[in-house]
């Protein structure tokens, strides 16, 4: 087993039979609410420490945290790595502050809400890039290299690009070509690699952003790797030459970091360093088998890359049926078989597979899909809405930061047409806004909201700017 310095320090502290005269208030598990005492192991509470002697400090690491971060950077071939306890969102915001403070930045419209939050914090000016959509499945693929080249020529003063790779659905769309265009034109590149923490761990997976020359890469380890929710990592590429990123992380991250989250990152890094490629080898073989099985079904389809422009993550399964919506398919899996998909849209539902052994899940999934496929034989075709022009970019009436801080009011959908949005219109997952503050709720947005009221949670009204 590889060394895990944070975990080792936690264990050493526990072996001393310590009495807590410090925070947190449960005093090392001596005071536990009854319902939690009955259901949570006491060891969880004993690991929940604060920055006491010998436990290091996330904001000024000199001991076990510093060593764990150094070992993480070595494993991922980064210049340096930083543990995040506020999720990937805080890393994205720190990256934008570091590279685009009060500056323009290229932003594709399929980015997560945290990017827009970063724009507000940094007073950055987004230059929105149109995104290519898959016309059959209705989800975003990414930007075209030629489109990026065109916008670079149109906005030569813009020197930073942020993109999402892979997408929520596990697609790396023309990423090598996009990175080549960006670097050839001298752009600083930030990659939201929230769903790609595992890509660097195996040769048969799509390329990792660090290997392609990205300057800052932020990963949600908790999405695809075995760590606790909210635990993420920010990597600096070997070519990074910007300001000290730690000053922005100090500004944004909590001053009471969870050692449970830090320990989960440390333990995961040790796990990844210990023959993870062989374990992924075994899992990929099993995934190929279930994909072949799914391909034999009559009423359930699986997304497969149509050409070489797409590189797909095998651990993501996008499933659809001509007989039911993605919402209904997800409900059948959940209610009949206890399988909880990651997300559902009208045309598909998404399942995230573990990167290592989970044979029981694969067996249950195949049993469920086979049973549902047989049942759907009796169904009539589902009346899907046509896939519209989803790459539209609403008109910008004012900058996102200005709109965010303007006085606002809530109105019903019918009275929002033509008004300027005062808040994000967004659904989780995947957390990609339809409209951001400062944009006009035009006819295209209005029609989308009319067709998707339950998805965008606008029953209590829409926030618009008072002008």
Range 261-271 average pLDDT:
97
With left for phi above 0 and alpha for psi between -120 and 50, is residue 461 left, alpha or beta?
left
Bridge partners (DSSP) of residue 421 are 464
Range 260-280 average pLDDT:
94
Residue 130: count of CB within 10 angstroms of its CB:
14
pLDDT band at 358, cuts 50/70/90? confident
- DSSP-derived letter for residue 430 is T
Q: What is the CA radius of gyration of the chain?
A: 23
Domains of the chain: 1-75+254-274 (no CATH), 86-240 (3.40.640.10), 282-376 (3.90.1150.150), 400-465 (3.90.100.10)
Range 46-72 average pLDDT:
92
Cβ pair 269, 75 in contact under 8 A? yes
- For residue 388 the two structure tokens come to 């519209």
Range 108-119 average pLDDT:
94
Instruction: Give long-range contacts, CB 8 A cutoff, 24+ apart: 303-307.
Output: 303/137, 303/169, 303/348, 305/171
Give me the pLDDT at residue 445, please: 87
Examine the pLDDT at 138 and tell me if it is beyond 90: no
Give me the pLDDT at residue 135, please: 84
Cβ pair 232, 93 in contact under 8 A? no
Cβ pair 301, 318 in contact under 8 A? no
Range 89-107 average pLDDT:
98
Residue 203: count of CB within 10 angstroms of its CB:
9
Task: Tell me the pLDDT of the chain averaged across its residues.
Answer: 93
Q: Where is mean pLDDT largest: 23-37, 39-53, 186-200, 392-406?
A: 186-200
Bridge partners (DSSP) of residue 163 are 191
Q: Phi, psi at residue 391, to the nearest 5°?
A: -95, 20
Instruction: Give long-range contacts, CB 8 A cutoff, 24+ apart: 22-29.
Output: 22/50, 22/52, 23/50, 23/256, 24/48, 24/50
Give me the pLDDT at residue 71, please: 97
Range 243-247 average pLDDT:
97
Give me the pLDDT at residue 390, please: 57
Query: In this structure, is the dihedral angle defined by the CA atoms of residues 105, 106, 109 and 113, taken in order, positive or negative?
Result: negative
pLDDT band at 452, cuts 50/70/90? low
Q: Phi, psi at residue 263, to the nearest 5°?
A: -65, -35
Which pLDDT tens digit goes with each residue over 184-195? 999 999 999 999
DSSP 61-118: --SHHHHHHHHHHHHHT-SEEEEESSHHHHHHHHHHHHHHTTSEEEEETT--HHHHHH
Bridge partners (DSSP) of residue 83 are 233
Which pLDDT tens digit goes with each residue over 360-394? 999 999 999 999 999 999 999 999 877 655 556 88
Give me the pLDDT at residue 439, please: 93
Host H or E run for residue 302: strand 301-302
Q: How far apart are CA 25 and CA 357, in angstroms?
A: 38
- For residue 105 the two structure tokens come to 């930045």
- Give the rounded percent of residues in the chain with a pLDDT score beyond 90: 79
Query: In this structure, is the dihedral angle defined by the CA atoms of residues 343, 344, 347 and 353, taken in order, positive or negative?
Result: positive
Q: How far apart are CA 38 and CA 44, in angstroms?
A: 13
Q: Phi, psi at residue 206, to the nearest 5°?
A: -55, 155
Give me the pLDDT at residue 389, please: 53
Ranking 271-285, 289-303, 445-459 by mean pLDDT, the lowest is 445-459
Q: State the helix-helix crossing angle for 5-15 and 64-76, rounded to 10 degrees.
A: 150
Threshold 0.85, pTM exceeds:
yes
Let me know the angle formed at the C-alpha of 108 by 102 and 113, rounded to the nearest 5 degrees. 75
Which pLDDT tens digit goes with each residue over 304-323? 888 777 899 999 999 999 99
pLDDT band at 266, cuts 50/70/90? very high
Which pLDDT tens digit goes with each residue over 319-351? 999 999 999 999 999 999 999 999 999 899 999
Give me the pLDDT at residue 461, please: 87
Residue 247 three-state SS: helix
Range 293-309 average pLDDT:
91
Host H or E run for residue 331: helix 326-337
pLDDT band at 427, cuts 50/70/90? confident
Which pLDDT tens digit goes with each residue over 204-240? 999 999 999 999 999 999 999 999 999 999 999 999 9
């Amino acid at each position: 087993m590889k060394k895990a310095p944070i975990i080792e320090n936690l264990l050493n502290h526990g072996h001393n039979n310590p009495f807590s005269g410090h925070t947190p208030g449960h005093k090392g598990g001596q005071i536990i609410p009854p319902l939690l005492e009955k259901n949570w192991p006491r060891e969880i509470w004993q690991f929940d420490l604060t920055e006491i002697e010998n436990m290091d400090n996330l904001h000024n690491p000199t001991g076990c945290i510093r060593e764990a971060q150094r070992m993480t950077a070595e494993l991922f071939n980064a210049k340096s790595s930083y543990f995040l306890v506020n999720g990937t969102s805080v890393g994205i915001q720190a990256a934008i502050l570091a590279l685009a403070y009060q500056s323009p930045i290229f932003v594709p419209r399929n980015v997560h809400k945290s990017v827009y939050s970063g724009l507000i914090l940094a007073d950055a000016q987004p230059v929105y890039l149109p995104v290519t959509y898959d016309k059959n499945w209705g989800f975003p693929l990414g930007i075209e290299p030629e489109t990026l080249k065109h916008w670079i020529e149109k906005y030569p003063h813009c020197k930073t690009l942020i993109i999402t790779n892979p997408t929520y659905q596990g697609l790396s769309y023309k990423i090598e070509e996009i990175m080549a265009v960006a670097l050839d034109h001298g752009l600083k590149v930030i990659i939201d690699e929230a769903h790609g923490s595992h890509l660097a761990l195996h040769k048969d997976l799509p390329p990792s952003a660090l290997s392609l020359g990205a300057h800052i890469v932020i990963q949600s380890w908790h999405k695809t790797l075995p760590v606790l929710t909210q635990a993420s990592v920010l990597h600096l590429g070997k070519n990074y030459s910007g300001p000290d990123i730690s000053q922005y992380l100090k500004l944004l991250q909590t001053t009471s970091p969870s050692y449970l989250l830090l320990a989960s990152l440390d333990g995961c890094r040790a796990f990844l360093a210990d023959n993870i490629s062989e374990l992924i080898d075994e899992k990929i073989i099993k995934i190929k088998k279930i994909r072949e099985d799914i391909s034999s079904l009559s009423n359930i389809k699986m997304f497969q890359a149509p050409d070489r422009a797409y590189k797909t993550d095998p651990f993501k399964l996008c499933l659809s049926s001509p007989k039911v919506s993605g919402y209904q398919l997800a409900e059948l899996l959940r209610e009949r078989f206890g399988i909880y998909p990651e997300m559902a849209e009208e045309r598909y539902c998404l399942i995230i597979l573990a990167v290592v052994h989970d044979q029981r899940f694969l067996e249950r999934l195949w049993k469920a899909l086979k049973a549902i496929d047989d049942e759907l034989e009796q169904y009539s075709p589902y009346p899907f809405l046509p896939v519209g022009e989803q790459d539209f970019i609403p008109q910008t009436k004012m900058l996102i930061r200005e709109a965010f801080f303007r006085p606002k009011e809530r109105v019903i959908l019918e009275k929002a047409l033509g008004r300027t949005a005062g808040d994000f219109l967004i659904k989780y997952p995947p957390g990609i806004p339809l409209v951001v503050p400062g944009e006009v709720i035009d006819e295209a947005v209005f029609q989308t909201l009319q067709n998707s009221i339950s998805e965008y949670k606008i029953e209590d009204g829409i926030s618009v700017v008072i002008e």
